[in-house]
A and B are shown apart, each in its own frame.
Chain A
Amino acid sequence: MQRTRRIAILICLLLLPSVALRLFTAVYPFFNTIWLSFHDWNPAFPPQQFVGLKNFQALTRDIAVTGSISFTVLFVTISTLLEIVLGMAIALILHRAFFGRGVVRAINLIPWAIPMVVAAIGFRWMYDTQYGVINDLLYRTIEVKVPWLVDFWGARAAVIATNVWKSTPFVGLVLLAALQGVPQDLYEAGRVDGTNRVSAFFYITLPLIMPQIVTIGLFMVVWQLAAFDLVFAMTGGGPGFATQVLAYRIYQVAFTALNFGYASAISMVLFIVVGIASIIGLLLFRKVEVSL
């Protein structure tokens, strides 16, 4: 009896720092945000006022919010699809044996390791309509110049491309590890049966690594739904609301407009979108795991 109690105390002590940190900085803010979303609150005029669903009604009519929802979904969907397809290509290349492979694998880590703000600012400079190197290269090859960051779809394409540039190598890294886990003798057996490389990829490799593809896909979706740095440093949500994402909208409403209640309501939208994406992802994961 004495012993079990001592072990219980020990468990609590060991878990205490981690639990305290998460309660303090993640769990409490989460529940408090739910509470605040039903209130009007400007920190400059202190009393919080209960307003029911007013904030939620307001955001359905707010173009800055509805626009940011649709661009966030578009941004995350296209980014994730491109990252998985191109990441797969990177993984297949880095899986082959060639001279200098170790160095190339190290280089593949660099876009993951640098800050998103540096990528955002570097590309913003390269996308400059007048002096940017991307337009110069385009002009030299196909004689066109695109007003990237001042055009509605140009800015959207540029933001997504920068995000894909930054995040794809990480996806490639994870998929490469998945490829290395596929047993070699399956390919040997395939070769005896006369399968070529393309069908070996689609009938052996792809089904076997599907759980890892779904896992990294889910991770990228959840993570990118809350993306902030890129849009903040690259476009500021512009031109107009073209590249406005939910996370940046929340930040602006909270810390520029000081509308804490409304910002919390928009945060609720983000929580719900993340929740839906997680459930779809987990169902998908269960399906591919069962089918193995």
Chain B
Amino acid sequence: MRLARAVDGALLAIAVFIFLFIVLFPFYWIVLSSFTPKYELFTIPPRYWFSTFTLENYQVLANSIPLTRYFVNSLLFAAGSSLVSVAAAFLASYALARIQFRGANLIFIVFVMSIALPQIGGLVPLFELFKNTGLINTYHGLVILMSSLVLPFTIWILVPFLRQIPYEIEEAAIMDGARLPHLFWFITLPIMRPALVTMFIINFIIAWNELIYPLVFATSGSNKTLSVGLVELAVQPTAGGGRPWDLLSAMSIVMIVPILIVVLLFQKLIVSGLTRGAIK
């Protein structure tokens, strides 16, 4: 019996170790490459440890592309999209969860089902529409697109969340003659705060990582995001056909560090938000 438990514990330890190795090794490799001088990246066999530690890759990167500009753009794009989607979903979820009316459930289902419409399938009409309305290469144009993309999932999470909160407090406030803006601001908003913060964080991460919309609708440089800058660096033709792995590694690190901070700070909230949709 004790032997069986020891074997069991050892197997579990091995499984955890393999899992951690597979998940973390690519990160280690990108970090290592980003701090290694270019000429040492192309050696056979590759070096598995920091041999000549250097920040040069980051300096060259910052000098060859408008890195700060891209970073700020990504930040504004992600924060703006996240804010608009959560605000719109908050209003809609109040109507769908709190006001009893015929068709509320149908509208909810249609919203959720629209997740299945592939984003890429609507690019051509959207491109024409945005060109004709002057929304192309604008910040608010990108925010409209992105907030709409994450909206169905946000509504999917917020409506059940609001439905499971007892209505009594809001009812009492209405009895006391609270007007709707007051009700929203002082009662409903604080009650829903955990869910709203969670969805803001999740949508922020999704928007930060988004590629297609900025790639197609931010063609003029001043609105490009980190994701666009990164793929431009990765697909542009280079002399000899090789890729600038030194710069690509450095830029990857610049792009994932903010996300890692967000994940580590808000791990519990993110997990609760991501799993609430699947588990009732």
Asked if B205 is at the interface (CB within 8 A of a chain A CB), the reply is yes
- Report if B216 contacts A (CB, 8 A): yes
A118 touches B230 (CB 8 A): yes
A15-B91, A226-B119 are known contacts. Are A174 and B278 too (CB-CB below 8 A)?
yes
> Residue A147 at the B interface, CB < 8 A?
no
Q: Across the two chains, which residue of chain B brings its CB closest to A278?
A: B116
Q: Mark B1-40, 1 if CB is under 8 A from A, else 0.
A: 0000000000011011001101110110110010000000
Nearest Cβ distance between residue B145 and chain A, in whole angstroms?
Answer: 6
Please choose the segment from A53-61, A105-113, A186-194 that sits at the chain B interface, where 4 or more of its residues have CB less than 8 A away. Answer: A105-113
Establish whether residues A106 and B264, one from each chain, have CB atoms under 8 Å apart when the complex forms: yes
Flag if B120 contacts A247 (CB, 8 Å).
yes
Q: Does B46 contact A (CB under 8 A)?
A: yes
How many residues on B have C-beta within 8 angstroms of the other chain's C-beta atoms?
88
The answer, among B27, B129, B270, B278, for a CB contact under 8 Å with A216, is B278
Residue B256 is within 8 A (CB to CB) of chain A in the complex: yes
Is there a chain B Cβ closer than 8 Å to A202's Cβ?
no
Q: Which residues of A contact B120 (CB under 8 A)?
A: 226, 228, 247, 250-251, 267, 270
A124 to B114, CA, bound (A): 33
Knowing A133-B46, A136-B46, A173-B271, the reply to whether A33 touches B249 (Cβ < 8 A) is: no
State which of A20-28, A63-71, A77-85, A152-160 sits at the interface with chain B: A20-28
A254 to B120 Cα, complex, angstroms: 10
Q: Considering only CB atoms, which chain A residue lies closest to B74 in the complex? A: A115
B172 at the binding interface (Cβ < 8 Å): no
**Contact at B144–A125, with CB atoms within 8 Å?**
no
Chain B nearest CB, measured from A20 CB (Å): 9
Complex Cα distance A24/B117, Å? 13
Contact at B144–A93, with CB atoms within 8 Å? no
- Which residues of A (230-251) have their CB < 8 Å from a CB of B? 232-233, 236, 247, 250-251
Q: Give which listed residue, B20, B30, B128, B152, contacts A107 with CB less than 8 A.
A: B20
Question: B42 contacts which chain A residues (CB < 8 A)?
Answer: 130-131
Listed A/B pairs (22) with beta-carbon separation below 8 Å: A10-B180, A14-B92, A14-B94, A15-B91, A15-B92, A18-B91, A22-B111, A30-B122, A43-B128, A104-B16, A104-B19, A105-B267, A109-B267, A113-B262, A115-B230, A115-B256, A124-B243, A130-B44, A133-B48, A255-B216, A268-B121, A274-B117
B contact set with A: CB distance below 8 Å: 12-13, 15-16, 19-20, 22-24, 26-27, 29-30, 33, 41-46, 48, 87-89, 91-92, 94-96, 99, 101, 107, 111, 114-129, 144-145, 147-149, 151-152, 155, 180, 205, 208-209, 211-212, 216, 227, 230-231, 234-235, 243, 245, 248-249, 252, 255-256, 259-260, 262-264, 267, 270-271, 274-275, 278-279
Of all A-B residue pairs in the complex, the 6 with the closest CB atoms, nearest first, are A29-B122, A32-B125, A177-B275, A226-B118, A115-B209, A14-B95
For the complex with contacts A106-B264, A115-B230, 9 further pairs of A-B residues with Cβ separation under 8 Å are: A14-B99, A17-B91, A18-B151, A108-B23, A109-B267, A113-B260, A113-B262, A122-B27, A125-B29
